[in-house]
Amino acid sequence: MWQIPKKVSLVSGHAEGETELSTFDKALLAAGVGEANLIQVSSILPRDVEFVAMQQFVAGLLLPAAFQFIISHHPGEVITATIAIGLPQNPAESGVIVEHTVSGNSALGEAKARAMVEELFAARQRKLGEIRVISSEHRVVKLGCAIALAVFWPD
């Protein structure tokens, strides 16, 4: 049975590789989650979640995470993956997580992700308190990947 997460870590990474798989794997390693079995979850942040630094874990751990990545084969292209978390003014309410990628810099990706958080709060008729953002920006040499994640911890 799954538990409601108590903690979340915002992490990101980027890398170059020879294949899409190795590039993605190297970006996961750079983000600190390359030895986990990620389980992609949708975009709700439970209430009362504490933001923490990346935690130690045993290789092979099933690790829930909201994440987005982008891979490009275009040398010179700037790619960005962004996670934005909207926290409500009312601590009894849940927050939202937006995952976004863009061919462009982190400022562009973060602006779009922030706007998406605001839209999701409006759709829920909730008042937005704070937005926390993490991005990974990468200039492609040959084959590049950027990834951003919100990693959930049970305790």
Q: Where are the domains of the chain?
A: 7-153
pLDDT in the model for residue 1: 54
Domain 7-153 has CATH 3.40.640.10: no
pLDDT in the model for residue 74: 98
pLDDT in the model for residue 35: 97
Contact 135, 98 (CB under 8 A): no
pLDDT in the model for residue 17: 97
Contact 138, 152 (CB under 8 A): no
pLDDT in the model for residue 38: 97
pLDDT in the model for residue 19: 97
Active site (catalytic) residues: 37, 42-43, 99
Give the separation between CA 69 and CA 13, rounded to whole angstroms: 10
CB atoms within 10 A of CB 126: 17
End-to-end Cα distance, the chain: 15
Give the separation between CA 116 and CA 140, rounded to whole angstroms: 26
pLDDT in the model for residue 102: 97
Give the separation between CA 92 and CA 78, rounded to whole angstroms: 39
Could you tell me which of 50, 58, 106, 61 has the C-alpha nearest to residue 83?
A: 106
pLDDT tens for the chain, 155 residues long, are 578 999 999 999 999 999 999 999 999 999 999 999 999 999 999 999 999 999 999 999 999 999 999 999 999 999 999 999 999 999 999 999 999 999 999 999 999 999 999 999 999 999 999 999 999 999 999 999 999 999 999 88
Give the separation between CA 43 and CA 129, rounded to whole angstroms: 17
Q: What are phi and psi of 57, to 5 degrees?
A: -150, 160
What 3-state DSSP class applies to 38? strand
Residue in this structure with the two tokens 């976004």, named with its chain if needed? 100
